[in-house]
A and B are shown apart, each in its own frame.
Chain A
Amino acid sequence: MSTNTPESPTELVHQDDSLEADQTDIELERAARRKKAVIVTIAAVAIFALMWIVATTMSGTIPSIFASVIRSAVEPQTAAVAIAVLGLNLHFGFTGLLNIGQAGFMLLGAYGFAIATTRGMPLPVAVLIGLAAAAVFALLLGVPTLKLRGDYLAIVTISAAEIIRYTGRLSQLTDWTGGSQGLPGSEYRDPFVALSFFGSGSTTIGPLSYQNTGVNGWWIRAVAWSLVLICTLLVFLLVRSPWGRLLRGIREDEDAIRSLGKNVFAVKMQSLVIGGMLGALGGIVFVLPASVQADSMGRAMTFFIWTSLLLGGAATVFGPVLGTILFFSVRILIRGATGAVVPSDVLNTQQADQFSWVVVGVILMLLVIFRPQGVLGNKRELQFNA
């Protein structure tokens, strides 16, 4: 057939030589990437600290803008969205499931929790009911669609999320969901607030000044961000395991994984359910300092979640949290800067707010074009189109 057999000495030498060299190359590259991540983190912390110092020590327009940026970064609703983004990251970033209805999972969790509480369930049971509702919803969506191509899940999730929103708004269900008025927070918040051991009064730390417990104080912030940490840890533990490897394999090519004898459907379902339950948990946290409003978790929320995910970097562990914080605080920064720079007869406060959304949209476009892997993503991973 051919005289050039692979056992020819030249090839073997080449092989042995480059094995060592390649290893060191890869080590170097890993070290460089780690260094970059450290630099990004230090830079982010430094900018945040600078804004913190300016906001605490000085007064004027700029310090007040910085203060509002910091306030929005630690907002419990930012934490709530971060948890939902962690769930979507499990779906899209790791498993390749196109879920365009994460807000539906949030809303379902919020309704489950709030309705159960108003019917007299204790807090842990109510939370479990919210999570279970999302799990059942995920199963219902997954059974018919996970055997089909990915696009079908996208269509089904976006419409199912809308169905939930419209069902929640039904006037016939006013006794349960409060209809289009929603459920006021006072109806379900008390058991959670009662758990607080922060006491009464209020505390000021730097530019942040809140009640210790209250409706929207330090207690809900502490709980919400602890939950973010716990959920990030959970996702980290899951995706570094062989189960996480299986998820990424499914993202790359389902049929290949099937040919290796793995139950692809079951694993996709597990991912859909866990990510959906994270969405529901996000929804519960989202409504604790506010009220359950069907329209607050509609399509717009789904797109905020997606933007945060892409901003931070899909298929990374900390990307979702970083992306969410950036998304909400940068918008406040843009709004504040616009308000300060542009005279109010050109753009009034409301228009400055709308303008900030426009800029966020433009930033998202630039991001997808010039840095598709997000802030923390690995560019090398995106070079090969599966």
Chain B
Amino acid sequence: MPESKTSTDTTNPMADPAARLALTDTIPNVPGVSKPDPILVVDNVVRQFGGMTAVNVDHLEVQRGLITALIGPNGAGKTTFFNLITGFDRPTSAKSRFGSSEGAASWAFDGRQLGRTSASAVSKAGMVRTFQLTKSLNRMTVLENMMLGARGQSGENLLTCWLKPTWLGQEKVIEDKAKELLSRFKLLRKKDDYAGSLSGGQRKLLEMARALMTDPTMIMLDEPMAGVNPALTQSLLGHIQALRDDGMTVLFVEHDMHMVRHISDWVIVMAEGRIIAEGRAHEVMADTAVIDAYLGAHHDTDLSDDSLLEDMPGAERMHRKAEAHEEEVARKGAAATKEKNQ
């Protein structure tokens, strides 16, 4: 991952909003569109639960260095998709040990194939996630939670861990790093409290900070704002943008449209397991497919009650539209018969 390391310097081009706009301008708003520099490429990921297809993604690319939001109505398969690509679940379409790999699920992160890897291997590759239901380690202190995140700890090797001098130096470095991150997330004064005593929002912060202890190339946040108060949300948004400006790629699932519009550079919309739209936030939200997915295609019609329909303000317009449509059909039919007759 040398390229990700070099992009963490101050001259990261993606820190400039104009550069991001220029970049996203070049990408057409087509579901599954290819990106100039994708960090994650996903193909044919299908997950079925019995007869229900929860996720069915043909192709998806995530651009390096941007904040990409994954949105969609409840049950769209966003979290399942997260679980699949981070190794916490296996696609139904996974490549079997024998037989052809035609149409089998495959995804590559930073050029590395991750089709058959475990959750820890995915994380080691640099793609680190958080969970929708926060997984703080309750009966450990906040600082211990953080220090567990650090990579390559020699003290975690069973054969040498009983010799304190072999890990003491590294432990100090990790502790300093953890404290610095905690102070960034305003949790430093809680460092010796048990994580179980934190509030829900603070646990979200802790989980995000812990994920950052692994120095990820890409961070995947599953509903980072759920249950977080507005003031904290504001600061979390700042943190996420700071991560992007430091050169990290961010992919997050969120329901709060306000927030999605506020910080995301690119939005991917899922519905019923499929990617139905992609684009910049305001463009995607104007997309009829997206509105249909969120509100239903007939969201301004009430199909059960005709009398109510008459009274509705839009009813007359709808009637007119319907009449116009009928007229159109009739006209076309007439024209067709005319043509046939000639």
Interface-side segment among A67-75, A97-105, A157-165, A257-265: A257-265
A270 within 8 A of B: yes
Bound CA span A382–B144, Å: 17
B161: interface (CB < 8 Å): yes
On chain A, the residues within 8 Å of B210 by CB distance are 260
- Kindly state the separation between the CA atoms of A54 and B232 in the bound complex, as whole angstroms: 65
Tell me if B164 counts as interface (CB < 8 A to partner A): yes
Interface size on B, residues (CB 8 A): 56
Identify which of B155, B156, B211 gathers the most chain A CB atoms within 10 Å of its CB: B156
Would you call B255 an interface residue if the criterion is a C-beta within 8 Å of the partner chain's C-beta atoms?
A: no
Q: Which residue of B lies closest to A242 (CB)?
A: B155
Choose one: A22, A246, A255, A270; the contact of B148 (CB below 8 Å): A246
Tell me the complex Cα distance, A94–B162, Å.
16
Whether B234 pairs with A261 at a CB distance below 8 angstroms is no
Q: Is the CB of A246 within 8 A of B231?
A: no
* Contact residues in B for A11 (Cβ distance below 8 Å): 186, 231
A58 and B197 CA atoms in complex are apart in Å by 53
Residues of chain A lying within 8 A (CB to CB) of residue B144: 245, 248-249
Mostly helix, strand, loop or mixed at chain A's interface?
helix
Check if A260 sits within 8 Å of B128, measured CB to CB: yes
- Whether, in the assembled complex, A256 has its beta carbon less than 8 Å from a beta carbon of chain B, the answer is yes
List the A residue with the shortest CB-CB distance to B88: A255
The answer to the question of B262 belonging to the interface, with a C-beta cut-off of 8 Å to chain A, is yes
Q: Which of A237, A251, A263, A381 contacts B194 (CB 8 A)?
A: A381
Please name all residues of chain B whose beta carbon is closer than 8 Å to the beta carbon of A245 when the two chains form the complex.
140, 144, 147-148
Q: Is A57 positioned at the interface, with any CB of B under 8 Å from its CB? A: no
- B211 touching A259, Cβ below 8 Å: yes
B131 touches A256 (CB 8 A): yes
Q: List CB contacts (< 8 Å) of B110-147 with chain A.
A: 118-121, 123-124, 128-131, 135-140, 144, 147
CB distance B131 to A242 under 8 Å?
Answer: no
Are the CB atoms of A246 and B194 closer together than 8 Å? no
Q: Are B231 and A2 in contact (CB under 8 A)?
A: yes
The answer on a CB contact under 8 Å between B140 and A248 is: yes
Residues from 241 to 274 in B contacting A, C-beta threshold 8 Å: 258-259, 262
Option from B149, B167, B196, B207 in Cβ contact (under 8 Å) with A384: B196
Q: How far is the CA of A57 from the CA of B129 in the complex (A)?
A: 68
Which B residues touch A267, using CB under 8 A?
A: 156
* A249 contacts B188, C-beta separation under 8 Å: no
A243 within 8 A of B: yes
Any A CB within 8 A of the CB of B51: no
User: How far is the CB of A12 from the nearest CB of chain B, in Å?
Assistant: 9
Q: Is B148 touching A257 in the complex (CB atoms < 8 A)?
A: yes
Any B CB within 8 A of the CB of A350: no
Asked if residues B262 and A1 are in contact (CB atoms below 8 Å), the reply is yes
Nearest CB on A from B144, distance (A): 6
Residues B235 and A6 in contact, CB atoms below 8 Å apart: yes
Is the CB–CB distance between A259 and B231 below 8 Å? no
In the assembled complex, how far is the CB of residue A39 from the closest CB belonging to chain B, in whole angstroms?
23
**Docked pose: A26 CA to B194 CA in angstroms:** 11
Residues of A within 8 A of B158 (CB): 238, 243, 270, 274
B149–A260 contact, CB under 8 A? yes
**Chain B residues with Cβ under 8 A from A259's Cβ?**
86, 88, 119, 123, 128-131, 135, 211
Asked if A149 CB lies within 8 Å of chain B CBs, one says: no
A261 touches B120 (CB 8 A): yes
Residues of B within 8 A of A242 (CB): 147, 153, 155-156, 161, 167, 171
- Nearest B residue (CB) for A270: B158
Is the CB–CB distance between B156 and A262 below 8 Å?
yes
Contact A260 B189 (CB under 8 A): no
A59 close to chain B: CB less than 8 A: no
- C-alpha gap A259/B86 in the complex (Å): 8
Specify the chain B residue showing the minimal Cβ separation from A263: B120
Bound: A245/B153 CA distance, A? 11
B230 at the interface (CB under 8 A from A): yes
Give Cα distance in the complex from A245 to B141, angstroms. Answer: 11
Contact digits for B75-91, partner A, Cβ 8 Å, 1 yes 0 no: 00000000000101000
Q: Is the CB of B120 within 8 A of A264?
A: yes
In the complex where A19-B189, A255-B131, A262-B156 touch, is A2 in contact with B233 (Cβ < 8 A)?
yes
Complexed CA–CA distance, A234 and B153 (Å)? 20
Q: Does B192 contact A (CB under 8 A)?
A: yes
Contacting A255 at CB < 8 Å: which of B119, B171, B230? B119
**Considering the chains assembled together, what is the distance between the CA atoms of A386 and B155 in angstroms?**
25
Instruction: Specify the chain A residue showing the minimal Cβ separation from B137.
Output: A252
Among B130, B137, B149, B153, the most chain A Cβ lie within 10 Å of the Cβ of B137
Tell me which of B157, B164, B234 has the highest count of chain A C-beta atoms within 10 A of its own C-beta: B234
Contact partners of A244 in chain B: CB under 8 A: 161
Q: In whole angstroms, what is the CA distance A249 to B190 when docked? A: 18
Contacts of A253 in B (CB 8 A): 135-137
> A6, A260, A274, A382: which contacts B214 (Cβ < 8 A)?
A260
A1-36 CB contacts (< 8 Å) to partner B: 1-2, 4-8, 11, 15, 18-19, 22-23, 26
- Residues of chain A with a CB closer than 8 A to B139's CB: 248, 251-252, 381-382, 384, 386
Could you tell me the distance in whole angstroms from the C-beta of B162 to the nearest C-beta in chain A? 4
Q: Which of A2, A234, A258, A386 contacts B230 (CB 8 A)?
A: A2
Complex Cα gap A274–B158 (Å):
10
A260 and B235 within 8 A (CB): no
- Contact yes or no, B192 A26, CB < 8 A: yes
B138 lies within 8 A of A243 (CB): no
Instruction: Assess whether A1 is in contact with B161, with CB atoms less than 8 Å apart.
Output: no
Shortest CB distance A140–B (Å): 20
Query: Interface readout for A342-386 with B: 1 if CB under 8 Å, 0 if not?
Result: 000000000000000000000000000000000000001111111
Give 17 CB contacts A-B under 8 Å.
Answer: A6-B231, A234-B162, A241-B161, A241-B162, A241-B164, A242-B153, A242-B167, A243-B155, A253-B135, A256-B136, A259-B86, A259-B211, A260-B128, A263-B120, A381-B194, A384-B194, A385-B138
- B residues with CB within 8 A of A: 86, 88, 118-121, 123-124, 128-131, 135-140, 144, 147-149, 151, 153, 155-158, 161-162, 164, 167, 171, 186, 188-190, 192, 194, 196-197, 207, 210-211, 213-214, 230-235, 237, 258-259, 262
Taking A242-B161, A255-B119, A260-B123 as given, write out 18 further A-B residue pairs in contact, using a Cβ cutoff of 8 Å, ordered by the A residue number: A1-B233, A2-B231, A6-B231, A6-B234, A22-B189, A23-B192, A238-B158, A242-B155, A244-B161, A251-B139, A253-B137, A256-B131, A258-B88, A259-B130, A260-B213, A262-B156, A381-B194, A384-B138
Question: Lowest 6 CB-CB distances: which A-B pairs, in order?
Answer: A384-B196, A242-B155, A261-B123, A252-B137, A241-B161, A256-B135
